[in-house]
């Protein structure tokens, strides 16, 4: 096993031993139980005394699912920040890193190991939680989003982007500062996305450009739009056409992120992780 994988395994072992996985499991089951009960009420709703048609049930379920998943993406991203920010900085502050890095392991391997472990943690949790939620919604409403795998990929991508930023910052800053900065810029990126949507509605180029820059600097909102698109039923998209009002909705997306943007996200990850490694390699311990 390469040394990076040893470090990555320790991230998962720590999450398990410190009951992070247990807490996430219990909280997620509670949320899925509550939202599942809520979704199960949709088919019982009536319109003018008549049961809601199946198509309307699915359309309602799809919109509610997007709202629920927005909350999930928000919680996932913040949880990723909470776990990533102290991952390196707390080991530096406590002195654990002194014994580790006196071994024949490079700081690059150590940082990559931390990143791999965090990515695995986010991917496992996001995939499992999203899969169960989608299965429950499908079971009680009959609605299955058109691109569930892509949806999970976009959610995981969003979590990986923000954890990478928090990890890179934590090579120089304390866990608290790295975490706060990451959480704030995550919120700012989402707000920039909302502002861009409003700009698109009012044909305000400055707002649209600001959103574009924001999506390039921190691709969390750009990936969130991909997740939204993956959840939208074809019928809703067809009905929306190219409506500017639909595009202005931060919980809606007319198109998936283009491939060049996804390529940029990959470059962004390499650059930010590379910065984190570079920063750690030059840090005095």
Q: Which residue from 49, 103, 242, 260 is in contact with another protein, where contact means CB under 8 A?
A: 103
Beta bridge pairs of residue 46: 51
The reply to whether 174 sits near another protein by the rule CB under 8 A is no
Select the span of 24-32, 96-104, 154-162, 252-260 touching another protein (CB under 8 A).
96-104
C-alpha 174/C-alpha 166 separation (Å) is 10
Q: Is 235 in the site for another protein (CB under 8 A)?
A: no
70-78, 88-96, 114-122, 124-132 -> range binding another protein (CB under 8 A) = 88-96
Please, which residues have CB within 8 angstroms of residue 45's CB and are 6 or more apart in sequence? 51, 52, 57, 60
- DSSP string over 13-60: HHHHHTTHHHHHHHHHHHHHHHHHHHHHHGGG-EETTEEPPHHHHHHH
What tokens does 107 get? 């700081």
For the bound state, the minimum distance from the C-beta of residue 100 to another protein, rounded and expressed in Å, comes to 7
C-beta of 107 vs 225, nearer to another protein:
107
Single residue of 47, 48, 99, 206 touching another protein by CB under 8 A? 99
Using the contact rule CB under 8 A, the part of the chain among 2-10, 118-126, 166-174, 246-254 near another protein is 2-10
Of 16 and 255, nearer to another protein (C-beta) is 16
Q: Are the beta carbons of 168 and 275 closer than 8 angstroms?
A: yes
How many other CB atoms are found less than 10 A from the CB of residue 213? Answer: 12
Residue choice 21, 78, 101, 181 for contact with another protein (CB under 8 A): 101
Site for another protein in 10-49 (CB under 8 A): 10, 13-14, 17-18
Q: Choose which of 1, 47, 238, 259 interacts with another protein (CB under 8 A).
A: 1
Residue matched to tokens 């049961």: 51
DSSP 257: P
What CA–CA distance (Å, rounded) separates 160 from 167? 10
Task: Confirm or reject binding of residue 210 to another protein (CB under 8 A).
Answer: no
Residues 113, 119: Cα–Cα separation, whole Å: 10
Q: Does 285 bind another protein (CB under 8 A)?
A: yes
Return residues touching another protein (CB under 8 A). 1, 3, 6, 10, 13-14, 17-18, 94-96, 98-106, 284-285
């Amino acid at each position: 096993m390469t040394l990076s994988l040893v470090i990555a395994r320790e991230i998962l072992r720590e999450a398990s031993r410190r009951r992070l996985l247990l807490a996430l499991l219990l909280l997620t089951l509670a949320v899925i139980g509550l939202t599942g009960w809520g979704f199960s009420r949709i088919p019982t709703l009536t319109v003018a005394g008549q049961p809601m048609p199946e198509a309307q049930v699915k359309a309602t379920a799809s919109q509610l699912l997007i709202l629920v998943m927005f909350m999930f993406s928000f919680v996932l991203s913040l949880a990723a920040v909470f776990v990533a920010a102290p991952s390196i900085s707390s080991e530096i502050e406590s002195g654990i890193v002194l014994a580790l890095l006196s071994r024949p392991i490079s700081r690059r391997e150590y940082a990559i190991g931390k990143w791999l472990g965090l990515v695995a943690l986010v991917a496992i949790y996001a995939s499992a939680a999203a899969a169960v939620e989608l299965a429950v919604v499908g079971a009680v409403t009959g609605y299955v989003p058109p691109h569930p795998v892509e949806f999970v990929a976009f959610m995981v991508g969003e979590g990986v982007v923000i954890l990478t930023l928090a990890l890179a910052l934590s090579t120089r800053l304390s866990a608290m500062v790295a975490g706060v900065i990451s959480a704030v810029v995550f919120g700012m990126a989402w707000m920039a996305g909302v502002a861009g949507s409003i700009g698109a509605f009012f044909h305000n180029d400055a707002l649209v450009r600001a959103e574009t820059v924001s999506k390039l600097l921190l691709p969390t909102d750009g990936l969130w739009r991909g997740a939204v698109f993956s959840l939208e039923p074809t019928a809703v998209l067809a009905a929306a056409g190219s409506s500017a009002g639909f595009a202005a909705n931060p919980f809606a997306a007319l198109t998936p992120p283009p491939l060049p943007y996804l390529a940029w996200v990959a470059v962004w990850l390499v650059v930010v992780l590379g910065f984190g490694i570079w920063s750690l390699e030059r840090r005095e311990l």
